[in-house]
Amino acid sequence: MTQNAKFLWGVATSSYQIEGAVGEDGRTPSIWDTFCATPGAVADGDTGAVACDHYHRMPEDVALMAGLGVDVYRFSLAWPRVQPDGKGAGNPAGIAFYDRLVDELLAKGILPWITLYHWDLPQALEDAGGWPARDTAYRFAEYAEIAYNALGDRVRQWTTMNEPWCSAMLGYVFGQHAPGRKDARAGMAAVHHLLLGHGLASRTIRDAAASRGRSEGLEVGITLNLSHKIPASDSPADLAAARWDDGMSNRLYLDPLLRGEYPADIAGKLAELGCPLPVEEGDLGLINQPVDVLGVNYYTSRVVQAAPVGGNGWPASRSVPRDVERTAMDWEVTPEALTDLLLRLERDYPGPAWYITENGAAYPDVADESGYVRDTARENYLRTHIDAALEARGKGVNLRGYFAWSLLDNFEWAYGYDRRFGIVRVDYDTQKRTPKRSARYFAERIAAEKAGQFPQS
Ligand code: FCB
């Protein structure tokens, strides 16, 4: 059954990383604009003010996608463009951009796949408390309704959040991402309110679709960054360290979303550490909405070894380095762990359709005079990870698609423009786009897969 379901090939991007035009058509600042303006927060003082200038070059970028032969494009909406300051009515001028994008994609036969939140929270909502504040979850559902009302006549694929782990942990616990706070208690409140926001927004979208007779083909879901955690040894300490790491990064999200409960070991320990998940009555039911699609963003895996507990009492661990290739992010290249991860997800959390919503790699690209990059390492990364994903599918995982991260080199958060993940090179001085060798490979692979190596319906 699952083997005959259609498999979608796509590319992914996100609003703040590519759009630029941060002050245009009524968009207000997001937490990333503020963070970028904070000295020392982002490498080289880079900002998303111009990025890939996609806001003005969108038709050219859609043409690039069409050239690759992709079925689907995963992009995110900038909340401060759609609903400036995160309150009140939608902003017609900002929404018009996404209207044009959706129409352009459909005209080229590419499915639009919307992510509502890829980290660019309106600064006004952060000023009101941000994700640690419960009200932000309700504001998010309101924004989801505005977005659905504007685009739901043409868009069927709706992802609420991208990687809530990153929003909560990097944004509020470690302070490496916007809004740059370092407060574990706030971070754990953010985890719960992001998940609550997901639940409220998915219910809103489903209801809005049903009231217009558009439920058929609607796919609502969420994308998580999930990873395989491999204990360094069978010692009880290493097993416990790997279990804690798996709990904090995988189960803390998967369990409430798909089983309607927080993992007891993690929730209990967080409460003990003074960072409880602020769950109110009925919340878990709201979070546990039907999930049509669970997006998996996969980059690497980790061998986990116990480390002495720090002064704050939090369980600690360290990564044991393996003798494998590393990307420019210093991430170990471990495609086989993607197969293991997918098999584990299907076994422990059966139900949703799984998609790899991001997978790719940064390498120190060298362009020739024409702008061409012969990125054999990235090509190899894509090949081995696609193989690993399809291997899991062959073993019965209900995997329905694969998105390369990313279409374009772009603003890589705290690394600024220093790390390039694109399969298409962007010359930031001229904004010239040049498909790399990996883009050619991806296009050829898609064509080959569609030609029958792999059953399509
Ligand atoms: C993911 C993010 C994406 C990009 C890649 C490299 O965590 O979702 O925006 O930064 O990592």
Residue among 196, 231, 76, 212 at smallest CA distance from 153 = 212
| Distance separating alpha carbons of residues 385 and 445, to the nearest angstrom | 12
CA–centroid distance, residue 262 to ligand 1 (Å): 25
- Residue 102 phi, psi (nearest 5): -60, -45
Print pLDDT tens along the chain (457 aa): 345 578 999 999 999 999 999 999 999 999 999 999 999 999 999 999 999 999 999 999 999 999 999 999 999 999 999 999 999 999 999 999 999 999 999 999 999 999 999 999 999 999 999 999 999 999 999 999 999 999 999 999 999 999 999 999 999 999 999 999 999 999 999 999 999 999 999 999 999 999 999 999 999 999 999 999 999 999 999 999 999 999 999 999 999 999 999 999 999 999 999 999 999 999 999 999 999 999 999 999 999 999 998 888 899 999 999 999 999 999 999 999 999 999 999 999 999 999 999 999 999 999 999 999 999 999 999 999 999 999 999 999 999 999 999 999 999 999 999 999 999 999 999 999 999 999 999 999 999 999 986 655 4
Quote the ligand 1 centre to 187 CA distance (angstroms).
19
From the candidates 163, 332, 379, 412, which is the catalytic residue? Answer: 163
Conformation bin of residue 207: beta by default, left when phi > 0, alpha when psi is -120 to 50: alpha
Residue type, 159: T
Q: Which CA distances in Å does 90 have to 27, 76, 80, 81, 218?
A: 11, 16, 10, 9, 22
Full set of structural domains in the chain with CATH: 8-226+290-301+324-450 (3.20.20.80)
Between CA 304 and CA 331 the distance in angstroms is: 14
**Order of strands across the sheet that contains 229-231:** 229-231, 302-307, 316-319
Query: Which amino acid is present at 134?
Result: R
Contact criterion met (CB below 8 Å) for 8 and 44 = no
In contact, 168 and 188? CB cutoff 8 Å: yes
Task: Out of 412, 415, 418, 419, give the residue to mutate to test ligand 1, the one with the largest number of ligand atoms within 8 Å of its CB.
Answer: 412
Write the residue with the smallest CA distance to atom 9 of ligand 1. Answer: 14
Do residues 389 and 339 touch, judged by C-beta distance below 8 A?
A: yes
User: Checking DSSP bridges between strand 432-435 and strand 8-12, what pairing results, if any?
Assistant: unpaired
Ligand 1 atom index nearest CA of 360: 6
300 Cα: distance to centroid of ligand 1 (angstroms): 12
Around ligand 1, the residues with Cβ closer than 6 Å are: 14, 17, 162-163, 166, 225, 297, 358, 405, 412-413, 421
Residue 331 Cα to ligand 1 middle (Å): 13
**Candidate from 159, 160, 161, 163 with most ligand 1 atoms within 8 A of CB, to mutate:** 163
Is 145 a known active-site residue? no
Strands 432-435 vs 424-427: parallel, antiparallel or unpaired: antiparallel
How far is ligand 1, taken at its centre, from the CA of residue 330, in Å? 14
Q: Amino acid letter at 224?
A: L
pTM of the model: 0.98
Q: What atom of ligand 1 comes closest to residue 413's alpha carbon?
A: 10
The SS3 call for residue 105 is helix
